[in-house]
């Protein structure tokens, strides 16, 4: 959202928390008519004088008025409902999702429809570290965006989307806006290297009338300049290597607007203390603030190597935010490249031994099973040896 009123107030008030805080204050007033200045300060964790100064600028702009607490004027209502996109919102559901623990049966109809959508998604390609998160996890990520005021009226980008987060975001918007997600003023972009996922999400966007646009993109290449500094929010579940995390988060930073307080929702495997410490150092080098770490937030299907779970790390942009990888990237990236392991599998029918690994004829056991034993076409194997390439 780009609004002259917000820009003007931000320029008038000395605040280092970012323009997003000013927007959130207006939303607090909109959803809680009559709220006191003290309650606003308590909710935003801002000093009372700062809140009073912001409130004064809103009054001068004719956006709010002081009358038995703070309330939006007609002009303020128009700003929130039309410009910011909250006008046709199911307010009760929005408030419930934002502040309460939601239950599956409350969103039964939407989840039933999404079950078929998620069952139809392409098979994972483990050579590029894909894994299938559960439907509930994908929807939890969408609700997380709502709770961070990063859903409605925002430009959102998903860096890789084998988890169909874009679809969950759009379906949640349809639920909140009575089946018309476009009324939210939200635009969702998907940058993805896998043509199968692009084709599937494009199909869903057309059939369900979702505000999603997909682009084929390899993050090892520089991003097109047309997309830089355009987005309010980033979702990514990158390869679970240090290189993968650094590259995908760097690309996310390049896409974010140059504003303070914008979120990057990073899903990443639980790692050792030493690995996690290096991640924190990298976040610090990139000028990102870690606002929360949610262990076991994500659940996956058939990802036993990471215990079928991963953490959600919520990062926030600051004045010092900058990417650590700006140009083309040519080093190892995916797990199979970084840890070059060759596995020997024995066919359970004819006992032929076949090697599987990086730059081999079969890079994964899934590929070997799909094509079958080179000798007898049987599809059941036993791992008999593992060695470094």
Dist. CA 219–CA 385, nearest whole Å = 34
The reported pLDDT for the residue numbered 131 is 83
How many whole angstroms from its chain centre is CA 43?
Answer: 24
pTM: predicted TM-score of the whole model, two decimal places? 0.85
Whether 346 has a pLDDT exceeding 60, the answer reads: yes
**Cβ pair 301, 115 in contact under 8 A:** no
Question: For the chain, first and last CA: distance in Å?
Answer: 50
The reported pLDDT for the residue numbered 18 is 84
Whether 136 has a pLDDT exceeding 70, the answer reads: yes
Average pLDDT, the chain: 91
- 172-220 per-position pLDDT tens digit: 999 999 989 999 999 999 999 999 999 999 999 999 999 999 999 999 9
Which CA distances in Å does 300 have to 130, 136, 137?
11, 10, 8
Section 384-389 average pLDDT: 76
Confidence of residue 26 (pLDDT cuts 50, 70, 90): very high
Whether 334 has a pLDDT exceeding 80, the answer reads: no
The reported pLDDT for the residue numbered 81 is 94
Please report, rounded to a whole number, the percentage of residues in the chain having pLDDT higher than 90.
72
Whether 3 has a pLDDT exceeding 80, the answer reads: no
Confidence of residue 28 (pLDDT cuts 50, 70, 90): very high
Q: Which residues of 89-99 are buried (b: 16+ CB within 10 A; e: fewer)?
A: beeebbeebee
The reported pLDDT for the residue numbered 358 is 64
Whether 242 has a pLDDT exceeding 80, the answer reads: yes
Whether 46 has a pLDDT exceeding 60, the answer reads: yes
Max CA pair span of the chain: 84
Cα atoms in the Cβ-side hemisphere of radius 13 Å centred on 336: 17
DSSP 100: S
Confidence of residue 5 (pLDDT cuts 50, 70, 90): confident
The reported pLDDT for the residue numbered 305 is 66
Whether 34 has a pLDDT exceeding 70, the answer reads: yes
Q: Which residues contact 73 (CB under 8 A, 6 or more apart)?
A: 62, 63, 64, 65
Confidence of residue 370 (pLDDT cuts 50, 70, 90): confident
**DSSP sequence for 286-308:** TTEEEEEEEEEEEEEES-GGGTT
Whether 293 has a pLDDT exceeding 70, the answer reads: yes
Helix H, strand E, coil C: the string for 195-251 is HHHHHHHHHHHHHHCCCEEEEECCCCCCCCHHHCCCECEEEECCCCCHHHHHHHHHH
The reported pLDDT for the residue numbered 336 is 66
Dist. CA 152–CA 94, nearest whole Å = 11
Whether 272 has a pLDDT exceeding 80, the answer reads: yes
Whether 45 has a pLDDT exceeding 70, the answer reads: yes
Please report, rounded to a whole number, the percentage of residues in the chain having pLDDT higher than 70.
96
Enumerate the β-bridge partners of residue 187: 155
The reported pLDDT for the residue numbered 273 is 93
Confidence of residue 329 (pLDDT cuts 50, 70, 90): confident
Q: Ramachandran region of residue 234, left (φ > 0), alpha (ψ -120 to 50) or beta? A: beta
Dist. CA 243–CA 262, nearest whole Å = 23
- 140-163 per-position pLDDT tens digit: 999 999 999 999 999 999 999 999
Tokens read off for 173:
């918007």
The reported pLDDT for the residue numbered 118 is 96
Residues in the chain: 389
Tokens read off for 371:
């094509």
Dist. CA 94–CA 101, nearest whole Å = 12
- 113-125 per-position pLDDT tens digit: 999 999 999 988 7
The reported pLDDT for the residue numbered 303 is 65
């Amino acid at each position: 959202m780009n609004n002259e009123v917000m820009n003007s107030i931000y320029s008038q008030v000395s605040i280092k928390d970012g323009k997003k805080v000013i927007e959130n204050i207006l939303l607090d007033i909109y959803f809680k008519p009559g709220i006191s200045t003290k309650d606003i300060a308590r909710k935003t964790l801002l000093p009372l004088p700062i809140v009073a100064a912001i409130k004064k600028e809103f009054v001068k702009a004719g956006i709010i008025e002081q009358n038995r607490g703070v309330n939006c004027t007609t002009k303020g209502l128009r700003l929130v409902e039309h410009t910011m996109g909250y006008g046709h919102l199911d307010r009760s559901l929005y408030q419930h999702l934002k502040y309460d623990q939601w239950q599956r049966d409350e969103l039964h109809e939407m989840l039933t429809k999404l079950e078929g959508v998620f069952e139809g998604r392409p098979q994972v390609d483990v050579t590029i570290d894909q894994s299938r998160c559960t439907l509930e996890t994908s929807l939890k990520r969408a609700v997380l965006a709502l709770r961070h005021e990063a859903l409605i009226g925002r430009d959102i980008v998903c860096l890789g989307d084998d988890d169909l987060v874009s679809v969950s975001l759009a379906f949640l918007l349809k639920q909140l806006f009575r089946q018309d997600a476009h009324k939210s003023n939200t635009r969702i972009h998907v940058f993805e290297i896998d043509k199968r996922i692009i084709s599937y999400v494009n199909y869903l966007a057309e059939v369900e009338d979702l505000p999603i646009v997909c682009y084929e993109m390899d993050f090892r290449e520089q991003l097109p300049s047309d997309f830089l500094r355009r987005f309010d929010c980033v979702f990514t579940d990158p390869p679970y290597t240090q290189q993968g995390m650094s590259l995908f988060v760097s690309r996310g930073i390049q896409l974010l607007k140059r504003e303070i307080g914008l979120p990057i929702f990073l899903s990443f495997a639980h790692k050792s203390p030493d690995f996690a410490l290096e991640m924190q150092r990298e976040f610090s080098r990139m000028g990102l603030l870690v606002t929360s770490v949610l262990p076991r937030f994500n659940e996956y299907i058939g990802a036993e190597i990471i215990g079928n779970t991963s953490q959600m790390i919520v990062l926030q942009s600051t004045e010092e935010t900058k990417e650590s990888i700006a140009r083309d990237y040519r080093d190892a990236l995916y797990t199979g490249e970084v840890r070059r392991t060759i596995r020997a599998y024995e066919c359970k029918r004819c006992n032929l031994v076949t090697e599987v690994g990086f730059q081999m004829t079969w890079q994964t056991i899934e590929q070997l099973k799909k094509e079958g034993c080179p000798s007898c076409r049987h599809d059941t194997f036993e791992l008999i040896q593992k060695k470094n390439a």
